[in-house]
Amino acid sequence: MKQPTYNMESPAAPLVQRNWWVYLVLILVCLVNFVPYLWVVMTGFMDGASASSATPAWFFTPSLEAFHYLIVEKGIMKNFFNSVIVSLASTFFSVTIGMFCAYALARYDFTGRDDVSFWVLTNRMMPPVAVLIPIFVTFQTAGLLDTLAGLVLLYTAMQLPFVVWMLTGYFRDIPRRYEESAMVDGDTWFAAFRKVTLPLMMPSITATSIFVMILSWNEFAFATFLTSTQAKTMPPAIMAYSIGADIRWNVLGAAVVLITAPLILFVLLLQRQLISGLSQGVVRK
């Protein structure tokens, strides 16, 4: 006996789109974004002759020549670890300090709050080159030239305005009554902040941390002028080793692999938090 067929879908359910062209467009967008990077990575595994060849070759004999040059001959891993230390430390300090500044600006009403808020933003308006010499002189006087501590201090100060502005908006999106409820239950403001607000802010803090990390990791101008041999980070080292009077494409490719791999790993690990953080505030609760 033939069984009757039933449509198990609720009439109120949204229509499921199965348009194949959506996937096609997505694949094309991914390709456009991914192929140049793939090509640069492939170049890193070519020898000098293949990398400078006029005819692009998708198939070639892989070579570690460029990596050997960077890692063994130039000792770039020292610059790599300098970058890791400086980026992680400056991200930690700027996000931690910036978080409390942002909280204060978002939650407390005090005289000159808007002025302070605007002043924080103006710190990002100046191009780095405008303050290069004063900062150089300050570093020289304080004995911070070519030190990791100096770079951490500088990057923390540089990224603070960004952190404060990002997080102030996010803090404002979290209703004050959540903390007030906790305080009614006997918590101090800090306990309320730690137990209620902070967990809600985690995606935003993560997203902000990723941006700060990227900015610190890629910073070039100050790293070039304020460091020499001990605290030099990856960006100036890569520029020096791969671009002389001409460009060594395979070395540049290998350098791109070395400088982007940690960031990609970092973003992949925190991807869920990042997306959640980026979308926070889009839908007002």
Residues 34-63 that bind another protein (CB under 8 A): 48-49, 52-54
Q: Which is nearer to another protein, 224 or 260 (CB)?
A: 224
Q: Shortest distance, CB of residue 236 to another protein, whole angstroms?
A: 7
Site string for another protein, 245-264 (x = CB under 8 A): xxxx----------------
Query: Cβ-count burial of 247 within 10 angstroms (0-12 exposed, 13-18 middle, 19+ buried)?
Result: exposed
Q: Shortest distance, CB of residue 71 to another protein, whole angstroms?
A: 16
Binder of another protein out of 117, 147, 224, 260 (CB under 8 A): 224
Q: Which is nearer to another protein, 79 or 90 (CB)?
A: 79
Q: Which is nearer to another protein, 53 or 96 (CB)?
A: 53
Binder of another protein out of 236, 257, 259, 266 (CB under 8 A): 236
Q: Which is nearer to another protein, 136 or 189 (CB)?
A: 136
Binder of another protein out of 88, 200, 243, 263 (CB under 8 A): 243
Query: Cβ-count burial of 127 within 10 angstroms (0-12 exposed, 13-18 middle, 19+ buried)?
Result: exposed
Residues 116-155 that bind another protein (CB under 8 A): 132-133, 136-137, 140, 145-146
How far is 126 from 118, CA to CA, in rounded Å?
A: 14
Q: Shortest distance, CB of residue 140 to another protein, whole angstroms?
A: 6
Here the tokens at position 247 are 């460009």
| Interaxial angle between packed helices 234-242 and 249-269, expressed in degrees from 0 to 180 and rounded to the nearest 10 | 160
Query: 35-39 long-range contacts, Cβ below 8 Å, gap at least 24?
Result: 37/260
Q: Which is nearer to another protein, 165 or 241 (CB)?
A: 241
Binding segment (CB under 8 A) for another protein, from list 31-39, 76-84, 234-242, 263-271: 234-242
Q: Which is nearer to another protein, 62 or 143 (CB)?
A: 143
Q: Which is nearer to another protein, 146 or 187 (CB)?
A: 146
CB 196 within 8 A of CB 182: yes
Binding segment (CB under 8 A) for another protein, from list 1-9, 114-122, 169-177, 235-243: 235-243
Q: Summarize as ranges the residues that interact with another protein (CB under 8 A).
A: 48-49, 52-54, 132-133, 136-137, 140, 145-146, 224-225, 228-229, 232, 236, 239-241, 243-248
